[in-house]
């Protein structure tokens, strides 16, 4: 993949850059600006080069229609604060406002266009519809930079089709993310430990299947662990359970045993009578979850065991909270795992999404870890061994 440096002299050039600015909002208040901050290095590099920078991005799932709830206006404000200069904001993506905003840009200035997902063609399965929209984007710029790692696993107009129409390169973020994932998959320093959590095991089946052959140990927590415990014949009370995946989890346990890969499951669980922040927590053995309780976190013994395994590793990848980390009474497992990752003498990677939000919410800084990915889904698909369209199109 070409880098921004490979694009030559960008002074006065109109550079369209696809960023991932899909941040969580409480009304118009941004609750985690991590993805915006991650876009700053590429944007700063382009403005320093004298480019006219046109940012394409999405927010949420507006289902192909303009919706004020998903407007990028608050993001433009925050982006300007981080860049130290105002960011012009267009109220559409390829229409009159976008055209005027881009025309008015001076060298070194930045404009953010409105949510690309307000146009149904952006995510269309019809290639001709996506190509039509990509051609409209391309009229606004001279070159294209792909820096939205969180969307490179999507074949979308602003990610894939636009790259076919303009000279293109990978931005700083996409290059960094790809380099880290190559370190995890090509020849990881060992021991290589993978920590997986989150609610549904079905979301992680492909990555488990692939990593069983490359990781030295898989540590399983979160809601997905109860399907594994059920596969071992244990009762899980009212805990989240995907009954249709019990046999699959059982096959993974057997396969791991045969090939010498460690799958570490919790030995104790923090349970509550209901899914509520106020539900009183109780620590029970993973062998004895009461029928009227549901698992909400891994227990203190398990947190200690997971932490010891993580700290002894040279490479760690973590995706998914260990429990209901947004509830203080059930956040200890996630916090313990996060703290252990900060102590790894090697490469520690937080795999984006809920994990990244959780560590920031729990008070950890981004630089406490080797790398915090901006793309949970993209990271997982890369680790599943899939080809990512948004990366493939840059390989020329």
Q: What is the pLDDT of residue 163?
A: 98
Residue range 107-136, pLDDT digits in tens:
999 999 999 999 999 999 999 999 999 999
Confidence of residue 386 (pLDDT cuts 50, 70, 90): confident
Q: Which two tokens stand for residue 272?
A: 């509550």
Confidence of residue 365 (pLDDT cuts 50, 70, 90): confident
CA dist 52 and 88 (Å) reads 11
Confirm or deny that 333 is annotated as ligand binding. Answer: no
Q: What is the pLDDT of residue 354?
A: 74
All structural domains of the chain: 4-175 (3.40.50.1260), 187-384 (3.40.50.1260)
Confidence of residue 103 (pLDDT cuts 50, 70, 90): very high
Question: Around Cβ 103, how many Cβ atoms within 10 Å?
Answer: 10
CA dist 4 and 56 (Å) reads 17
Q: What is the pLDDT of residue 119?
A: 98
| Cα 245-306-374 angle, rounded to 5 deg | 75
Confirm or deny that 154 is annotated as ligand binding. Answer: yes
- Over residues 152-175, the mean pLDDT reads 97
- Give me the percent of the chain exceeding a pLDDT of 90: 84
Give me the phi and psi of 104, to 5 degrees please. Answer: -80, -5
Residue range 54-102, pLDDT digits in tens:
999 999 999 999 999 999 999 999 999 999 999 999 999 999 999 999 9
The predicted model scores a pTM of 0.87
CA dist 194 and 111 (Å) reads 39
Confirm or deny that 78 is annotated as ligand binding. Answer: no
| Contact by Cβ (8 Å): 166, 14 | no
Confirm or deny that 297 is annotated as ligand binding. Answer: no
Query: Does residue 174 register a pLDDT over 80?
Result: yes
Active site residues: 35, 200, 353, 377
Confirm or deny that 352 is annotated as ligand binding. Answer: yes
Confirm or deny that 326 is annotated as ligand binding. Answer: yes
- Over residues 376-383, the mean pLDDT reads 84
Confidence of residue 342 (pLDDT cuts 50, 70, 90): very high
Confirm or deny that 371 is annotated as ligand binding. Answer: no
Say what the alpha-carbon torsion angle 21, 22, 26, 28 is, to the nearest 10 degrees. 50
Coil, helix or strand for 339?
helix
CA dist 16 and 10 (Å) reads 12
In the DSSP assignment, the letter for residue 150 is G
Confidence of residue 377 (pLDDT cuts 50, 70, 90): confident
Q: What DSSP letter does each residue of 186-242 carry, written as one string?
A: TS--SSEEEEE-SS-GGGTHHHHHHHTTT-SEEEE-STTHHHHHHHTT---TTS---
CA dist 376 and 384 (Å) reads 12
Residue range 197-243, pLDDT digits in tens:
988 889 889 889 999 999 999 999 999 999 999 999 999 999 999 99
Coil, helix or strand for 117?
helix
Q: What is the pLDDT of residue 367?
A: 85
Q: What is the pLDDT of residue 275?
A: 96
Q: What is the pLDDT of residue 189?
A: 95
- Over residues 360-370, the mean pLDDT reads 85
Token pair 């090509």 in the structure block, residue: 186
Helix (H) or strand (E) holding 305: helix 300-311
* Lowest-pLDDT range of 67-71, 177-181, 293-297, 306-310: 177-181
Q: What is the pLDDT of residue 148?
A: 95
């Amino acid at each position: 993949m070409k880098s921004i440096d490979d694009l030559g002299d960008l002074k006065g050039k109109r550079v369209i850059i696809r960023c991932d600015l899909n941040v969580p909002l409480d009304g118009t208040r941004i609750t985690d600006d991590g993805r915006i901050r991650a876009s700053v290095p590429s944007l700063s590099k382009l403005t320093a080069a004298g480019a006219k920078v046109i940012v394409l991005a999405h927010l949420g799932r507006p289902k192909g229609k303009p919706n004020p709830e998903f407007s990028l206006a608050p993001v433009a404000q925050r982006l300007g604060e981080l860049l130290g200069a105002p960011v012009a904001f267009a109220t559409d993506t390829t229409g009159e406002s976008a055209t005027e905003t881009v025309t008015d840009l001076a060298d070194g200035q930045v404009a953010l266009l409105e949510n690309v997902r307000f146009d149904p063609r952006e995510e269309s399965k019809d290639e001709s519809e996506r190509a039509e929209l990509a051609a409209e984007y391309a009229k606004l710029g001279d070159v294209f930079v792909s820096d939205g790692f969180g969307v490179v696993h999507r074949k979308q107009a602003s990610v894939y089709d636009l790259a076919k129409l303009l000279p293109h390169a990978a931005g700083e973020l996409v290059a960094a993310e790809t380099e880290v994932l190559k370190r995890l998959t090509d020849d990881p320093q060992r021991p290589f430990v993978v920590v997986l959590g989150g609610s549904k095991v079905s979301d992680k089946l492909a990555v488990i299947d692939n990593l069983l052959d490359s990781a030295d140990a898989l540590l399983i927590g979160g809601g997905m662990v109860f399907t594994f415990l059920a596969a071992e014949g244990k009762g899980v009370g009212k805990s989240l359970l995907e009954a249709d995946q019990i046999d699959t989890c059982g096959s993974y346990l057997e396969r791991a045993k045969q090939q010498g890969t460690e799958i570490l499951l919790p030995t104790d669980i923090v349970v509550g009578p209901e899914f509520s922040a106020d539900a009183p927590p109780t620590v029970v053995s993973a062998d004895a979850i009461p029928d009227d309780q549901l698992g909400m976190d891994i227990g203190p013994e398990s947190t200690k065991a997971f932490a010891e395994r993580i700290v002894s590793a040279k490479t760690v990848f973590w995706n998914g909270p260990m429990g209901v980390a947004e509830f203080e009474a059930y956040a200890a497992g996630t916090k313990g795992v996060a703290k252990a990752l900060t102590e790894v003498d090697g490469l520690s990677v937080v795999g984006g999404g809920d994990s990244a939000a959780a560590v920031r919410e729990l008070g950890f800084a981004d630089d406490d870890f080797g790398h915090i990915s901006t793309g949970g889904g993209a990271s997982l698909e890369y680790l599943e061994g899939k080809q990512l369209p948004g990366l493939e199109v840059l390989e020329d």
